[in-house]
A and B are shown apart, each in its own frame.
Chain A
Amino acid sequence: AQSVTQLDSHVSVSEGTPVLLRCNYSSSYSPSLFWYVQHPNKGLQLLLKYTSAATLVKGINGFEAEFKKSETSFHLTKPSAHMSDAAEYFCVVSGNTNAGKSTFGDGTTLTVKP
């Protein structure tokens, strides 16, 4: 089985300060891990993905994530938050079933204060 736990339901930062969104995963096999962002009433946009290559993954809009197998974590970071980063963020694990379905975390709402 596979599962994802996003440790914070809400994160609030000031513009220009660092962002940290935490994600722990559980998987019986080497997983593929993803972060998606969803703006209000919009679809899912892929930020970045880990698929067993480099453990530090760079994504779009300045976001990064580091895969730490020993900690079963895949935290999302950004050095400096922008107002446009305010959105819902989902950590996703895929691949631990024959069908390769995706399992989503509950989501983290990021608020960016001016």
Chain B
Amino acid sequence: EPEVTQTPSHQVTQMGQEVILRCVPISNHLYFYWYRQILGQKVEFLVSFYNNEISEKSEIFDDQFSVERPDGSNFTLKIRSTKLEDSAMYFCASRRGTGISYEQYFGPGTRLTVT
């Protein structure tokens, strides 16, 4: 069964550094998402992406964040200058975009640790 994959599984970075988290969505999916989960808290929506542009973003997704689909397979989340509070698990998800189901398929997550 097709899966969403994410790399790396764990990223450690120093405060102020740029990080790029990578995701490969399921190949025939059209909608892409990033969520984050701070340790011990619930999963929060960051951004959705469709047709090569952001379709919705949360208040968390400020100017330090950006997303890109640089080719036909990858979907990336960039944090320009990381802060300690960016430490979290980041989940990528994709959705087919047709039919009545809004099911999103989640990747295994990237744990980002900012020191």
Contact = CB atoms under 8 A, between A and B. Distances in A.
A52 interface: yes
A94 B104 contact: yes
Contacts of B56: 97-99, 101
A46 to B, nearest CB: 8
Contacts of B48: 99-101
Interface of A is mostly: loop
Interface string B83-100: 000000001010101001
A94 B42 contact: no
A6 to B, nearest CB: 9
Given A90-B42, A90-B43, A99-B55, A43 B106 contact: yes
Interface string A91-114: 000110111111111110000000
A98 B55 contact: yes
Interface of B is mostly: strand
Which of under 10, 10 to 19, 20 to 34, or 35 or more describes the interface residues of B?
20 to 34
Among B31, B33, B43, B44, the one with the most A-chain Cβ atoms within 10 Å of its Cβ is B43
A51 interface: yes
Interface of A: 31-32, 34, 36, 43-44, 46, 49, 51-52, 90, 94-95, 97-107
